[in-house]
């Protein structure tokens, strides 16, 4: 039997790696914050603040399914510190874009996460 393909890296090291890598995958001017998820050792909390006048803030939970694959869950979208309707076309487009960027970042980090 082969060993399951599990994430084997310190959560803080992982958050640090994401913090330095994710800005390469999002739009210039957007800001990203990455923190360990205190309730789940296999997850990170990613907040992306959009550049420009829109002032949207997207909160995602990024969970490692295994050492290479992540599941991205949208937690909340805010504008000017108020929760907004996530079903609008512009929000949905941004969520899709950021979800794709998060997956691309996970791929870029696979050398680190896939032992």
Number of domains the chain is built from? 1
Residue 59 falls inside a structural domain: yes
* Dihedral pair phi/psi, residue 58, rounded to 5°: -110, 130
- What residues contact 62, with CB distance under 8 A and at least 6 apart? 18, 43, 44, 45, 46, 70, 71, 72, 73, 102, 106
pLDDT digits (tens, 9 = 90+) for 17-33: 999 999 999 988 999 99
pLDDT digits (tens, 9 = 90+) for 49-97: 998 877 899 999 999 998 888 999 999 999 988 999 999 999 999 999 9
- On whether the pTM is more than 0.95, the answer is no
How big is the CA angle at 45 (ends 33 and 108), to the nearest 5 degrees?
75
- Domain extent, residue 89, equals 11-113
Identify the bridge partners of residue 26 per DSSP, sorted by sequence position: none
Residue 42 falls inside a structural domain: yes
């Amino acid at each position: 039997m082969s060993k399951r393909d599990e994430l084997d890296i310190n959560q803080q090291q992982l958050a640090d790696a994401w913090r330095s890598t994710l800005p390469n995958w999002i739009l210039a001017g957007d800001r990203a914050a990455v923190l360990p998820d205190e309730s789940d050792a296999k997850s990170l909390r990613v907040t992306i603040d959009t550049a420009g006048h829109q002032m949207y803030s997207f909160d995602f939970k990024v969970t490692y399914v295994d050492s290479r694959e992540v599941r991205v869950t949208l937690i909340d979208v805010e504008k000017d510190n108020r929760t907004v309707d996530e079903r609008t076309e512009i929000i949905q487009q941004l969520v899709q874009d950021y979800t794709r960027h998060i997956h691309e970042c996970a791929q870029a980090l696979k050398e680190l996460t896939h032992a």
